[in-house]
Amino acid sequence: MRRWIDERIDIASIRETLVDRKVPGGLTWWHTLGSATLAVFTVQVVTGIVLGMYYAPSPDHAYDSIRYLEHNVMSGALLRGVHHWGASAMVVLVLAHMIRVFSMGAYKYPRELNWVLGVVLLFIVLGFSFTGYLLPWDQKAYWATQVGTNIAGTAPLIGGALVKLLRGGTQLGAATLTRFYALHVLLFPVLLGFFALLHLVQVIRQGIAPRTAVLDAEPPPRTDDPAYASYYHDRYARSKRAGVRFWPDIIAKDLVVATLVIVVLVLLAHFSGAGLEAPADPTDTTYVPLPEWYFLPFFQLLKLVPGSLESVVAVGVPAALVLVLLALPFFDRRSMRSLRHRPAAAITMGVTLAGVALLLGAAFRSEPPTAVATEVGRPLSSIERAGRAMYKARNCGACHALGDQKPDTSADTPNAPDLTEVGLRHSAAWMHSFMEDPARFHPNSKMPSVGPPKLTHEEIEEITRYLASLRGPNWATAKQEFYDTFPEPVKRTERP
C-alpha cells in the first residue's frame, strides 16, 4: 500500500524537501513569528467560513445577522471574538515578523524578492482589516469607513474616482457593503493564499536565513560585489551542515508559539468580545468615528498636521511607506547584517518605532469616552435617543412604568401598561397608529392622543422606534410575539 502510494506521489522527495532537511542552527524564538502568522491566518479562514454562514451582506440584514450570531448561536460570540482578535493578531505578527527580518538583515541577498512578497502580504492584511471593519454595519463600522474612504478621496487626480470605486457610488451604502464583502471573502483570501504560498516556497527553497554572525565574518563590503555570492553560499552551506533538523527542531518551536497565540486569542475573545454598537445611522453626524487601533497612529498624525497639509500627509505618508519598504532591499546593499554594524538602520528603526508608539499613546489618551446606554442590550441609535428624549418631554412616565421608572401614582392617573417590554408585544407600525389616535383602538381609552398637531409624524415615529427597541431585562433571549389588534376599517362611503 505504502509503496503503491509512494510510486505515485513520491512521498520520499516531499519528506526530503519539507521535513528531513537541515537548517542553520541557533535560530531564535523570533524566527517563529512568520509561522505564527500563518497559523492565525488559518484560524481566520476557519472562523471566517463559519461567520459567512450566518452573515447577510445587505444594510437591512447585516446588523441583525451579527446580533443573531452573537446572542442566539452557540459559541457565536466566541467565534466572532476570535475572528476579531485574530485580525489584530495578524497585523501585529506581520509587523513583528518584518521587524525581526529587518533587524537581522534577512532581506539582503538573496532574499530581496521574498521581502517584496512580504510587503505585498502586509498590505493585503491591511486590506482585509479595512474591508472587514465595515461588515457588522454598526455605527463604528459605518463612520470609520466613511472617514477611511474620505481619506482615499484626498488623493490628487484619482481621488474622486477612487472614492467612487471603493464605495460603489458617491455615497456609502448597500453597494459599498457588497463590494467590501466580495473583496473580504473572495479576492483577498485568494490573493493572500497565493502570495503566502510563493513566500513559503521561497523560504523552503532558499532556506531560513542563518544567524547574523555566520554571514558577518569578513564578507565583501557589498552584496552586489561579484565575490559576495560565492562567499554567501559557502558560509550558508557550512552553517547548514552544522545546523539542526527542520523536523522536529524547528517545527516544534513553531507549534509551541502557534498554540500559545491561539490560546491567547480564545482568552481575549472570551473575556472581551468583538462588541457591537447601535445599528449604522447615516443621519447621526454627532458620532465620533474611531478606526481599528492599529490605524490610530496614522489618524493621530493627520490630526497634528495643519488642515492645508492634511491631504498631502494622508496620501503621501502611506505612499512613501510603500515605496520605501519595496525599495529597501535594492537600495541597502551593504553586506553587514547585524544591527550592531548598521547604526543608520538601528537609529531609523528606533526613531520610527518610538514615533509610532508616541502617536498611539496620544491617540489613546485623546479617545472620547463612549457613552453607552445599555437599557436595550446595546447603545441606542440617534433616532431612538431622540425618541427617548421625546418620551421624557411628553411626560409619558406619569402614567407608564418603564424599567426602574415608576408611574406617578399620587396624581389621578389611570392604570397604564408597563412599557419595559413593549417591543416584544407590539409591532412598531401598531404603536405608531395607536399613539396617533388611541380612541380609534379602544373607544374608552384613557391614553391621551399624541397625533398631529400635538406631535408630528416624525416625532411619533421617533418615540415608536424607541419603544420598539425595548425588550426588557431578558432582551438577549426574549422572543417577540405581537398582540396587535387593529380597529375595524373606517367604512368608505359607497360611490355610485
Q: Which DSSP helix (H) or strand (E) runs through 245?
A: strand 244-245
Binding flag, residue 440, ligand HEC (CB under 6 A): no
Q: Please give the Cα distance from 70 to 235 (Å, whole number).
A: 55
Place of cell 416584544: 424
Contacts of 78 (CB under 8 A, 6+ apart): 266, 269, 270, 273
Nearer to ligand HEC among residue 257 and residue 447 (C-beta): 447
Q: Please give the Cα distance from 83 to 51 (Å, whole number).
A: 9
Q: How far is the CB of 372 from ligand HEC (least distance, A)?
A: 24
Nearer to ligand HEC among residue 270 and residue 446 (C-beta): 446
- Number of residues engaging ligand HEC in binding (CB under 6 A): 24
The stretch among 56-64, 114-122, 337-345, 393-401 that binds ligand HEC (CB under 6 A) is: 393-401
Binding flag, residue 453, ligand HEC (CB under 6 A): no
**Among positions 438, 462, 465, 470, the unique one binding ligand HEC when judged by CB under 6 A:** 438
CA–centroid distance for 364 within its chain: 18
Q: What is the largest CA-CA distance in the chain?
A: 109
Binding flag, residue 470, ligand HEC (CB under 6 A): no
Binding flag, residue 264, ligand HEC (CB under 6 A): no
Q: Please give the Cα distance from 303 to 64 (Å, whole number).
A: 34
| Closest CA relative to residue 22, chosen from 247, 245, 250, 253 | 245
Nearer to ligand HEC among residue 319 and residue 398 (C-beta): 398
List the end-to-end C-alpha distance of the chain, in Å, as a whole number.
91
Give backbone dihedrals phi and psi of 313, rounded to 5 degrees, phi first.
-70, -40
Binding flag, residue 386, ligand HEC (CB under 6 A): no
Nearer to ligand HEC among residue 311 and residue 449 (C-beta): 449
Q: How far is the CB of 455 from ligand HEC (least distance, A)?
A: 8
The stretch among 57-65, 211-219, 354-362, 441-449 that binds ligand HEC (CB under 6 A) is: 441-449
Q: How far is the CB of 390 from ligand HEC (least distance, A)?
A: 7
Binding flag, residue 487, ligand HEC (CB under 6 A): no
Place of cell 368608505: 492
Contacts of 143 (CB under 8 A, 6+ apart): 280, 287, 288, 289
Tell me which amino acid residue 178 is: T
**Among positions 135, 151, 172, 447, the unique one binding ligand HEC when judged by CB under 6 A:** 447
Nearer to ligand HEC among residue 280 and residue 463 (C-beta): 463
What 8-state DSSP symbol labels residue 23? E
| Closest CA relative to residue 381, chosen from 275, 274, 280 | 280
The stretch among 43-51, 218-226, 367-375, 408-416 that binds ligand HEC (CB under 6 A) is: 408-416
The stretch among 74-82, 99-107, 361-369, 409-417 that binds ligand HEC (CB under 6 A) is: 409-417
Binding flag, residue 417, ligand HEC (CB under 6 A): yes
Question: If you count them, how many residues does the chain have?
Answer: 496
The stretch among 1-9, 27-35, 304-312, 431-439 that binds ligand HEC (CB under 6 A) is: 431-439
CA–centroid distance for 1 within its chain: 47
Binding flag, residue 144, ligand HEC (CB under 6 A): no
3-state secondary structure of 495: coil
**Which residues are near ligand HEC by CB under 6 A?**
391, 394, 396, 398-400, 413-414, 416-417, 422, 425, 431, 434-435, 438, 442, 445-448, 450, 463, 467
